[in-house]
Structure 1
Amino acid sequence: MQLLRSALAASVAFAAISSGVKAADEKSDVVDLTKDTFASFVENENLSLVEFFAPWCGHCQALKPHYEESATALLKEETPIKLAKVDCTVEEDVCSEQEVQGYPTLKVFRKGTASEYNGPRKADGIISYMKKQALPALSEVAPADLEEFKKKDKLVAVAYLADGAKELATFSSLADKLRDSYVFGHVADAEAAKAEDVKVPSIVLYRSFDEPKIVYSGKLTDESAIEEFIKAESTPLVDEVGPENFMTYAEAGVPLAYYFTLPDAADKDKDVEALRDIAKKHKGKLNFVWIDAVKFVNHGKGLNLNGENWPAFVIQDIQGNTKFPLELSGDRVGAISKHVDDFIGGKLKPSIKSEAVPEQDGPVWVLVADEFDKVVFDDKKDVLVEFYAPWCGHCKKLAPTWDTLGEKYAAHKDKIVIAKMDATANDVPPSAGFQVSSFPTIKFKPAGSKEFLDFAGDRTLDGFVDFIGQNAKNSVKIDLSAPANNTKPAAAEEHAKPKHEEL
């Protein structure tokens, strides 16, 4: 999942950097903090947001125009909210005290007390998130203020409940839990409910998209059901996806259906509108989005689209780590409708990207997706696998050691297999039960088991041999003093040959 998010973020970074940045001589509304001003600033502000950054950081540069825009907008609120920043290459002591471990790090401060910022990193998302922080978890809404309150955010949940009603405790608990994501209000006035054509007791969602008013029909004391209802209705039938909202979909718990299209295609809007009927039919089972095929071509390739023919469609089950691509031609909407019906009906087989099965002529088994189950789940053998990327510097550094390790176990291939797999050119099959999100990832599968162990130890020859000795079901003796008979070209060079772009 992290790779998917990184792919989207990296692809859009240049566009963000090159647009919306204030001129050098234009006054910024973001407050610059130093070690002399930091403590007094965060302690004196009821609510503030602070970015800890490094000037050379690409993600910080991408965030900058959005942060600037948010600072200006939030100062205009009825209760202004200040945004500030700390240059960690200069104010090292401040960033160390705040335990900053990566850039950019954003923290919300309330009178000096910090909490992690978990919101979007686009201007509208930052503004929305901080406005929610300024509100109580559950606002008491007077009838005269109801119309304005309904427009506080893209989705506002209002409970029409009498004061003291037992259902109010449930709604209040949920508001505390979800305050970072949604705006919650309580209206106790029966006449206000009547004016809204709402019965008491009830919960209503007001939205700035799709149907503007949705009434909850479930049990008002079932907190989990109300939460599920709000989350399901917070997602538009069809929306554009990008770095600012991708994690919302990734964490939604349902598969994601992408329509990859050229943003200026003449029939884009018509096709997207047609998808709404399909999305409505399968609401709650799939989320539908359209995505810029130019900006996010690498994301499409990661979903096993060929990256050449647009538009295209693909369903991704993020939790199941499966992909179901569809190349489009002719009746696109009809083809998508059938593809979705077949997916829901369990009739589709997932697409597993794999290199061709190679001839094995070296001490390390070159693993590909098509042979994964056959090789790795051989009950008679212990298997240690490195999942690498050709461009990864750490992988290149490890490669000679890995080849030497293969040489050491070459005489025992019937018991212990040392393998490697290019995880940019091969999918890890769903049968593995894990996804690769960083390189190198090293996993060990003991003989007779279906479970994988994460490698824990030094990435040295001794470290790998010790780990295998402690965890392998098959016992073999390895002579570490004997020189390795490795006459192949340097594995670092072999790994270095690029095959696919980085996700």
Structure 2
Amino acid sequence: MRLSSSISLALVALTTSVLASDVLDLTQSSFKKEVFNEDLALVEFFAPWCGHCKNLAPHYEEAATELKSKNIKLAKVDCTEEQALCGEYGVNGYPTLKVFRNGVPVDYTGPRKADGIISYMVKQSLPAVTDVTPETHAEFIKADKVVVVAYGDASHPIPSAFASFANTARDSYLFGQYSASSLPPIPESPSLPAIVLYKSFDEGYAIFPASEVANLDNELFEEFVKMNSVPLLDEISPENFGSYAEQGLPIAYLFVDPNDVATREKLVEEIKPIAKGLKGEVNFVYIDAIKFIDHGKSLNLPGDSWPAFVVQDLAAQTKFPLTEKATGANIKAFMEKFVKGEIQPSIKSAPIPTQDGPVYKLVADDWENLFNDESKDVFAEFFAPWCGHCQRLAPIWDVLGEKYGKNSNVIIAQMDATENDIPPAAPFRVQGFPTLKFRPAGSSEFIDYTGDRSLESLIEFVETNKKSESGASASGEVEDEEWEDEEDAPEHDEL
């Protein structure tokens, strides 16, 4: 009996520890009491069936436990049970996270991993600029991956522009100021006023040029902080991709097999001097080639041989894969040519098809053939096969093609943007699907279509913007389709 009782007590204790949570479950009746009186709280609005919510859950729990000691509450609301409460805060997708300050909500824009949530909320709990003292200095400069501290004294005051910039960038970085006649040990002992960026990677710090501190230029300072806020060569993933994208610099990817650690480490060491020499011009990263094989294919890598190397210019949406073996020497030679503009971007194209339907099937290799003929109006759709909006538009686009016919001076075209790249010479980039562009005859300009996706609206747009002499339907005319019941019409949801 005693053994049985001991086992029972152990099971109760185990169950209690498993079920214990530092995330508060809120309802309509408890929400204001738990949130409105808090200086700072984070609330997740979720649905139990939501896959993204399930992925977030363990990270949210870990962050809640860590932040509890800092008196920052993390809570959640089940929107399947509390529909009115979720509606009150405009929740229309899951999970939705909101930061509350004394009951006033703002959207949470931080990462969704535990360490990212913790870092973001700690920054939110502090002033934009924290006053650092001799007692707190050593701990403060290690409080986050990137910490920026301004130093000054009565004779050399910290510029007011420092606090101004910190206020705009507080979500991303931790800022402090140290004003005293005697300073703590700081790298290289710069003259005052001085600004030092401390980082938990690479050389550990970077000093803002002394000549620029007194008359601090926000744009130059922002560039300095961004450039030094990412490691010289780090692994990239969905969690940190945003920090690279924000910089606007080309990204040089080393795709490596995660199981071949020796090859990765050898190549990373060989590439580091190249990355250091091009710091501020190109960001270098390595990436799991197996897990992110589809991303490699989107960058025009073959996807069957590792390691591989490719440069992506996010701003221009161009890709520059290394066609030779990815060795340190080959990458160095490739990058020397790349920065000089001697490498041509890789343009992915599906084979040029036979045009046997009412809609012109456009591919990258046929781009000039279509758009260099300025005697015709061209209305082009750029789509992705998996896009639901594109699938709903497809039958309407076919009818539009039949409306104007093969012999018309209005060409209705479409391009699968997952199989074809937009050539660099094109004056636009595709950011979402479907993207609809109209090029009037006699012009090189493209007009965005932003109306609803009904057949009637598309025809009206063409008739308003066409410039060719015989742009109306010349053959194969089709009556404008009328839908007997609104429910039978294709949906026209906007992205």
- After superposition, the Cα gap between the structure-2 partners of 1:160 and 1:25, relative to the gap in structure 1 and judged at 3 Å, is closer
Once the 2 structures are TM-superposed, how far is the Cα of residue 193 of structure 1 from its aligned partner? 4.5
> How does the TM-score come out when normalised to structure 2?
0.88
Quick one: distance in 2 between partners of 1:262 and 1:127? Answer: 31
Aligned residue for 2:395?
A: 400
Once the 2 structures are TM-superposed, how far is the Cα of residue 458 of structure 1 from its aligned partner? 3.3
Aligned residue for 2:281?
A: 285
- After superposition, the Cα gap between the structure-2 partners of 1:170 and 1:482, relative to the gap in structure 1 and judged at 3 Å, is closer
Once the 2 structures are TM-superposed, how far is the Cα of residue 157 of structure 1 from its aligned partner? 0.8
| Identical-residue share of aligned pairs (%) | 51
Select 2:459's aligned residue among 465, 468, 479.
465
Once the 2 structures are TM-superposed, how far is the Cα of residue 281 of structure 1 from its aligned partner? 0.6
Quick one: distance in 1 between partners of 2:436 and 2:277? Answer: 42
Q: Does 1:444 align with 2:438?
A: yes
Further displaced range: 87-96 or 302-311: 87-96
Quick one: distance in 2 between partners of 1:139 and 1:227? Answer: 19
Counterpart AA for 1:301:
K
Counterpart AA for 1:366:
K
Deviations along 1:367-412, whole A, 9 cap, x unmatched?
A: 0011123313432221111112223333333222222211111154
Select 1:304's aligned residue among 285, 300, 303.
300
Further displaced range: 438-447 or 224-233: 438-447
Greater relative contact order (Cα < 8 A, sep 6+): 1
Deviations along 1:229-272, whole A, 9 cap, x unmatched?
A: 11111111001111111011112111011111011213211211
Once the 2 structures are TM-superposed, how far is the Cα of residue 57 of structure 1 from its aligned partner? 2.3
- After superposition, the Cα gap between the structure-2 partners of 1:24 and 1:473, relative to the gap in structure 1 and judged at 3 Å, is farther
Counterpart AA for 1:211:
E
- Contact 1:256 1:316 (8 Å CA) reproduced: yes
Q: Does 1:424 align with 2:418?
A: yes
Quick one: distance in 1 between partners of 2:202 and 2:459? Answer: 59
Quick one: distance in 2 between partners of 1:482 and 1:361? Answer: 17
- After superposition, the Cα gap between the structure-2 partners of 1:177 and 1:363, relative to the gap in structure 1 and judged at 3 Å, is same
Q: Does 1:180 align with 2:195?
A: no
> How does the TM-score come out when normalised to structure 1?
0.86
SS at match of 2:39: coil
Once the 2 structures are TM-superposed, how far is the Cα of residue 274 of structure 1 from its aligned partner? 1.9
Paired residues for 1:218-233 under 5 Å: 218-220=211-213, 221=215, 222-233=217-228
Q: Does 1:190 align with 2:181?
A: yes
- Contact 2:150 2:194 (8 Å CA) reproduced: yes
Deviations along 1:130-163, whole A, 9 cap, x unmatched?
A: 1111111111111121111111111111111125
Once the 2 structures are TM-superposed, how far is the Cα of residue 168 of structure 1 from its aligned partner? 2.6
Further displaced range: 186-195 or 355-364: 186-195
Quick one: distance in 1 between partners of 2:17 and 2:301? Answer: 42
- Contact 1:193 1:199 (8 Å CA) reproduced: no
Q: Does 1:156 align with 2:156?
A: no
SS at match of 1:158: strand
Deviations along 1:16-67, whole A, 9 cap, x unmatched?
A: xxxxxx9994322111122222223221111111112222222222222211
Paired residues for 1:212-291 under 5 Å: 212-217=204-209, 218-220=211-213, 221=215, 222-265=217-260, 266-291=262-287
Quick one: distance in 1 between partners of 2:90 and 2:148? Answer: 36
Once the 2 structures are TM-superposed, how far is the Cα of residue 436 of structure 1 from its aligned partner? 2.7
Q: Does 1:203 align with 2:195?
A: yes
SS at match of 1:44: coil
Quick one: distance in 2 between partners of 1:137 and 1:125? Answer: 18
- Contact 1:456 1:467 (8 Å CA) reproduced: no
Gaps of 5+ in 2: 1-14, 480-495
Count of residue pairs the alignment pairs up: 460
- After superposition, the Cα gap between the structure-2 partners of 1:185 and 1:393, relative to the gap in structure 1 and judged at 3 Å, is closer
- Indicate the structure (1 or 2) with the bigger Cα radius of gyration: 2
- After superposition, the Cα gap between the structure-2 partners of 1:68 and 1:199, relative to the gap in structure 1 and judged at 3 Å, is same
Aligned residue for 1:13?
A: none
- Contact 1:373 1:431 (8 Å CA) reproduced: no
Quick one: distance in 2 between partners of 1:436 and 1:50? Answer: 34
Further displaced range: 201-210 or 95-104: 95-104
- Contact 2:383 2:433 (8 Å CA) reproduced: yes
- After superposition, the Cα gap between the structure-2 partners of 1:380 and 1:310, relative to the gap in structure 1 and judged at 3 Å, is same
SS at match of 1:463: helix
Aligned residue for 1:131?
A: 122
Further displaced range: 385-394 or 314-323: 385-394
Aligned residue for 2:88?
A: 97
Quick one: distance in 2 between partners of 1:477 and 1:284? Answer: 53
Quick one: distance in 1 between partners of 2:104 and 2:474? Answer: 57
